[in-house]
Structure formats: C-alpha cells, structure tokens
C-alpha cells in the first residue's frame, strides 16, 4: 500500500517540557494505525500536531506529498483529514441532524451562504451519514442530551461529513460500556473497509487496538519506540518493558 501520511522527527515542547521528541509515524492508504503508549507519552499532542491544533517546534508532517505542518486546523480539514477528540466534542445546543449538517455544508463550501435556508440544504447527504452511523432515529434530538456513547458516534459522524481520506480518532472508546465499545470497534472496521479510509487511532484499550489495527506505533516519553505489525510490536522487548508488560511463554 502506498504511503499517505509521513511524520518525520516531529517535536513539541510546552514551557520547557518536551511532550513529543522527534516522533516518526507512517500511515499507508486505507490502513488502520494505532498509536499506543502510557499516559503522558505524547499521543494526543502528536494527534494535535497532525491535525494542526498545535504547531510543531521541529520536524515535518507530509500528507499526500504536501507538507501540512504549518497549516491551520480548518485548512488541514479541507485537505481531507478528519478527527475526533479525547472528550466528546460536539455542538450540544444543536440537533443531531444540525451537528452533521454544519459539517456537510462546510465541506460543500456553503457555510458562508447568506441567502439560502439551511434547513433545506444537504438533507440527503446528512441523512445518509446519520444512517451509516446508526444515528438516524435520533436526528431531531438535541445533541447535548445523547448518551456518552452516542455522542462519541456523533463525533465520528461529524468528522465523516467532510469526506476525509484520513480519520484521526483520539480514544474513541474512552468511557464506553463494553457493548458501546464493541459497536464502535465494528463501526471503525466498517468505515475503513467500506469507505477506504486510513485511520489513526489513539487508544488505551489493547483489545480494541489489537483487533482493528494493521500497524501499531508505540510512543514512549514522546519518542517513537517502534512501529510495525501488531504481532511484531507485541513481541518487541522494549515495548514489553515500557508499556505492555512481560509476556510469559
């Protein structure tokens, strides 16, 4: 598979604390890559660097042959990189439908249209996304009153509305019940397969990681320890020492 995203020696410090120290990551087209590591390893910082919410102090981030390290988040989204956040990040006062519709309108370049009636626009596209994520029945509900699990799914639906080629998911199953975790895992697999999406997944639940990821990158104290196939990473001595623990034969 050809390379889609390449992170080269990226670093980021906050007031002298080096959260990310020369991290490397490659994502192939249509693949699912999991980023794992202990708390404070720099996972979320790395995702924020990739999606433009933080600017790197050093290194390069190249997406589809273009350097995106200096771009603003909305410019990165327009290059078809979607994302979700560690905490459910939705529009709580808008309906579920409007949450997704706002994103569809932005993707269609209509968010500055002053004269049309928003309610009549992008209805089919919005409905299709809600149906594909299982939220169609709750389309008229206020997003803020949805359950935690549904809010996380809604976040994915919002991200999908911009038709991303790369989807960045920050702990998509955090705080979910086992049933919701299983449903979200199925959805992630389905999205990658049906839409041909590449996915970067930052996750603490190793069952989720090893059941969906085709490649695993281990981040430790801001450095890339290793990136490779799940089985290779699982057997890696440094990874076992730093994060997974020793596996008894």
The SS3 of residue 85 is coil
* 167/233 with CB nearer other proteins: 167
| 226, 217 Cβ separation under 8 angstroms | yes
Least distance from other proteins to the Cβ atom of residue 112, Å: 6
Cα–Cα dist 25/154, whole Å: 28
Nearer to other proteins, 1 or 119 (CB): 119
Query: What does the DSSP 8-state code read for residue 108?
Result: T
Closer to other proteins by Cβ: residue 162 or 184: 162
Contact 212, 34 (CB under 8 A): yes
**Residue closer to other proteins (CB basis): 12 or 83:** 83
Q: C-beta of 55: minimal distance to other proteins in Å?
A: 14
At its nearest, how many Å lie between other proteins and the CB of residue 85? 8
Least distance (Å) between residue 131 CB and other proteins:
19
Q: Can you tell me the distance from the alpha carbon of 180 to that of 191, in angstroms, rounded to the nearest whole number? A: 16
Which spans of this chain sit near other proteins (rule: CB under 8 A)? 51, 53, 72-74, 77-78, 82-83, 85, 89-94, 98-99, 101-103, 105-107, 110-119, 121, 158-159, 161-162
Q: Among 47, 7, 41, which Cα is nearest to 27's?
A: 7
């Amino acid at each position: 598979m050809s390379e889609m995203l390449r992170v080269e020696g990226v670093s980021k410090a906050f007031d002298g604390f080096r959260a990310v120290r020369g991290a490397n990551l490659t994502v192939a087209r249509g693949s699912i890559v999991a980023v794992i590591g202990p708390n404070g390893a720099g996972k979320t910082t790395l995702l924020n660097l990739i999606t433009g919410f933080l600017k790197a102090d050093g290194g390069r981030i190249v997406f589809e042959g273009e350097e995106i390290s200096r771009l603003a988040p909305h410019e990165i989204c327009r290059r078809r990189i979607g994302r979700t956040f560690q905490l459910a990040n939705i529009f709580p006062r808008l309906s579920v439908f409007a949450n997704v519709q706002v994103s569809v309108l932005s993707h269609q370049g209509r968010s500055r249209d002053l004269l049309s009636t928003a309610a009549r626009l992008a209805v089919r596209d919005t409905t299709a996304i809600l149906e594909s994520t299982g939220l169609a029945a709750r389309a008229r509900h206020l997003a803020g009153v949805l359950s935690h699990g549904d809010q996380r799914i809604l976040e994915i639906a919002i991200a999908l509305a911009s038709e991303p080629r790369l989807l960045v998911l920050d702990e998509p199953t955090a705080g979910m019940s086992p049933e919701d975790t299983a449903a979200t895992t199925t959805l992630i697999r389905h999205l990658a397969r049906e839409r041909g999406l590449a996915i970067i997944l930052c996750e603490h639940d190793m069952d989720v990681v090893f059941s969906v990821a085709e490649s695993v990158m281990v981040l430790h104290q801001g450095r890339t320890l290793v990136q490779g196939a799940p089985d290779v990473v699982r057997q890696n001595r440094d990874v076992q020492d730093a994060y997974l623990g020793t596996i008894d034969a």
